[in-house]
């Protein structure tokens, strides 16, 4: 479909095909810093030549730690065009993981675009030859001088850029991505040019559209392969991209940018859905009944059944447009991945006029294995196999995948590679699933993420934890059950929802700290958990819980950069609180 086989060739294709003034955009001082396709290609070209002159060798690993921005992509594409291999590093990385990724990758150069990371970088930069800083405020002489050097080289050696790009083959490494993982040190996933470009082509096949009127809002980190691969797809399709610099301002950017397309993780949709339900509770009189009814109808109506009654007509005219306006009235679809999405939330967004297309994948698969799309979608599944990807279910229920997207292996770790890729190229995902008669893949859980109590009974954590996050003030929850006699839970609050909860019960005068420790909140939480337990098998009942005094966050170590719970880390961090729930006698914790 696309006339390119490598990412440097993708950029040359884009330069000859598009010339929009707003190809990539980043917020700055109340406005936008914008790059046209011509400027994007020119900056990549000049930085490539400077990196070549600087001594970046073919196959050399070059680090990149920064928030998502146009310059993140410019640096990434320049590293690859020079023959190097990009090693993206997540922001808020632990010192231990940071040291490991520098040493394991063997990087000598590191681009740093986040001033908050500079103390960590300087503390552990002994093996680095050079750290080059850049961001959208302040002066960065070395970074700026690289572009000047590249421009001079381009005048003296106008054919050098083409020589470098032409030397890149589709079998060359494009990137080494260290998986954040929930336990132990991260492993470096080696992805080739072919791996990633095959996914860009598959994305265009699964999501065919007229892109002339599309606009993307980017809210996920480019260090994550999901957003990064999709970003290459946006660029190859000529879709303007607007980056978000502050996660707290996503709603405001949605209203100002009015995007038509966005990639999200379930956590984002869960927050929006919960906020809409809370607004419904804040309404009064007839309006409250109308909004609550509209939320319930959108959440429950099967999209396959197109029955359209009188209430549907009222909701479509009077309520659903208000929901869409709060996000973006131009949304054509949201692509969701990373973890399982509640089908109720998928139905809600689809029924109000914002179709959700849920997909599934792993970093090791570059990353998409399957996805729903405009031509074929089924809520509750993660769609059909992505174009070019084979999927089958092993006898024990594990999902296996094979295709041009599967990684070369884990960097410098043959043993770990052999444990997940078999002799005939099947990637063993570690996820359990099934394929229905129409070819849709359904995820049934993690092969190893099934807790076994000391009583011999098995407990699936995901559905219980999701139920706990439906408690009005709870943002994240983690249960403990493995090798334990009963189930307990850690509950992490959401400060915004906590404020609403306090006001709802006339306790707004209490501080968050006082409220989280209050007998009132513990009693209300008992009531919610009693209701959750009522719908579960007795071996899954939550016997005790602890309400934490802060939200779970990447910065404090409870979440991975892709917003998943770091179970091992949490159990280590809060060992005393957990043991207390098993040593205390009687009552709720």
Q: Which of 179-183, 275-279, 330-334 has the highest mean pLDDT?
A: 330-334
Domains and CATH numbers, the chain: 7-168 (3.40.50.12780), 261-327+332-404+413-446 (3.40.50.12780), 451-583 (3.30.300.30)
Q: Give the containing element (helix H, strand E) for 370.
A: strand 368-371
Res. 276: pLDDT tops 90: no
Least Cα distance to 338 among 310, 311, 315, 371 occurs for: 371
Confidence (pLDDT) at 585: 46
3-class DSSP state for residue 150? helix
Confidence (pLDDT) at 586: 44
- 2-11, 291-300, 454-463, 551-560: which has the minimum mean pLDDT? 454-463
Confidence (pLDDT) at 131: 96
Read off the pLDDT of residues 366-411 as tens digits, 9 standing for 90 and up: 999 999 999 999 999 999 999 999 999 999 999 999 999 999 999 9
Q: Once rounded to an integer, what is the mean pLDDT over residues 510-515?
A: 91
- Percent of the chain whose predicted confidence (pLDDT) is above 70: 97
Confidence of residue 44 (pLDDT cuts 50, 70, 90): very high
Confidence of residue 266 (pLDDT cuts 50, 70, 90): confident
Read off the pLDDT of residues 539-556 as tens digits, 9 standing for 90 and up: 899 999 999 999 998 878
Contact 100, 69 (CB under 8 A): no
Q: Which of 85-99, 271-285, 291-305 has the highest mean pLDDT?
A: 85-99
Q: Once rounded to an integer, what is the mean pLDDT over residues 556-578?
A: 85
What 8-state DSSP symbol labels residue 99?
Answer: H
Residue corresponding to tokens 């680090």:
63
Cα Rg of the chain, angstroms = 25
Q: How far apart are the first and last CA of the chain?
A: 59
Kindly report the number of other CB atoms within 10 A of residue 508's CB atom. Answer: 12
Confidence (pLDDT) at 304: 63
Confidence (pLDDT) at 283: 77
Least Cα distance to 405 among 182, 236, 226 occurs for: 226
**Rounded CA separation 279/287 (Å):** 11
**Rounded CA separation 198/261 (Å):** 21
Higher pLDDT pick, 586 / 580: 580
Higher pLDDT pick, 528 / 560: 528
Res. 584: pLDDT tops 80: no
Confidence (pLDDT) at 179: 86
Average pLDDT, the chain: 90
239 to 62, 152, 485: CA distances (angstroms): 28, 31, 54
3-class DSSP state for residue 23? coil
Q: Once rounded to an integer, what is the mean pLDDT over residues 179-191?
A: 78
Kindly report the number of other CB atoms within 10 A of residue 75's CB atom. Answer: 26
Decide the pairing of beta strands 241-243 and 409-410. unpaired
Res. 562: pLDDT tops 80: no
């Amino acid at each position: 479909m696309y006339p390119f086989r490598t990412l440097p060739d993708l950029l040359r294709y884009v330069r000859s095909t598009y010339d929009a003034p707003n190809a990539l955009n980043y917020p700055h001082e109340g406005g936008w810093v914008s790059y046209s396709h011509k400027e994007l290609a020119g900056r990549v070209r000049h930085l490539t030549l400077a990196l070549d002159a600087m001594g970046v060798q073919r196959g050399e690993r070059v680090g990149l730690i920064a928030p998502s921005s146009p310059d993140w992509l410019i640096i990434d594409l320049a590293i690859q065009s020079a023959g190097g291999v990009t090693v993206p590093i997540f922001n808020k990385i632990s010192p231990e993981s940071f040291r490991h990724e520098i040493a394991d990758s063997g990087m000598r150069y590191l681009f740093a675009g986040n001033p908050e990371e500079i103390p960590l970088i300087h503390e552990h930069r002994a093996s680095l030859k050079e750290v080059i800083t850049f961001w959208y405020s302040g002066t960065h002489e070395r970074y700026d001088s690289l572009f000047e050097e590249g421009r001079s080289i381009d005048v003296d050696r106008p054919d050098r850029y083409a020589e470098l790009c032409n030397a890149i083959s589709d079998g060359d490494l494009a990137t080494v991505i260290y998986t954040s993982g929930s336990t132990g040190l991260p492993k470096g996933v080696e992805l080739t040019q072919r791996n990633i470009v095959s996914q860009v082509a598959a994305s265009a096949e699964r999501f065919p559209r007229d892109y002339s009127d599309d606009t993307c809002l980017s809210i996920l980190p480019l260090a994550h392969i999901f957003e990064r691969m999709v970003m290459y797809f946006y660029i190859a399709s000529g879709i303007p991209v607007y980056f978000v610099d502050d996660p707290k301002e996503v709603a405001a950017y949605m209203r100002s940018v009015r995007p038509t397309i966005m990639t999200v993780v379930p956590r984002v949709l869960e927050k929006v859905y919960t906020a809409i339900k809370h607004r419904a509770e804040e309404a009064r009189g007839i309006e409250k009944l109308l909004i609550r009814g509209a939320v319930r109808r959108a959440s429950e109506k099967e999209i396959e059944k197109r029955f359209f009654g009188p209430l549907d007509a009222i909701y479509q005219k009077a309520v659903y447009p208000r929901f869409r306006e709060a996000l973006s009235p131009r949304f054509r679809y949201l692509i969701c991945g990373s973890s399982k999405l509640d089908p109720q939330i998928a139905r809600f967004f689809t029924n109000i006029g914002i179709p959700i297309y849920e997909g599934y994948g792993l970093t090791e698969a570059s990353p998409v294995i399957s996805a729903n799309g405009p031509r074929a979608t089924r809520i509750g599944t993660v769609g059909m196999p992505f174009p070019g990807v084979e999927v089958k279910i092993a006898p024990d229920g594990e999902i296996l995948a094979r295709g041009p997207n599967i990684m070369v292996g884990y960097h410098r770790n043959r043993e770990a590679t052999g444990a997940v890729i078999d002799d005939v190229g099947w990637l063993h995902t570690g996820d359990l699933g099934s394929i229905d008669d129409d070819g849709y893949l359904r995820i049934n859980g993690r092969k190893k993420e099934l807790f076994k109590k000391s009583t011999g009974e098995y407990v699936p954590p995901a559905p219980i934890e999701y139920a706990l996050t439906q408690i009005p003030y709870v943002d994240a929850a983690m249960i403990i059950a493995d090798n334990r006699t009963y189930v307990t839970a850690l509950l992490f609050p959401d400060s915004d929802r906590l404020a609403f909860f306090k006001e709802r019960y006339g306790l707004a005068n209490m501080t968050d700290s006082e409220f989280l420790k209050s007998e009132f909140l513990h009693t209300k939480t008992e009531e919610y958990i009693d209701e959750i337990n009522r719908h579960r098998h007795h071996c899954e009942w939550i016997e005790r819980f602890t309400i934490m005094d802060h939200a779970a966050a990447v910065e404090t170590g409870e979440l991975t950069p892709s917003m998943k719970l770091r179970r091992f880390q949490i159990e280590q961090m809060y060992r005393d609180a957990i043991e207390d729930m098993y040593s205390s006698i009687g009552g709720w914790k």
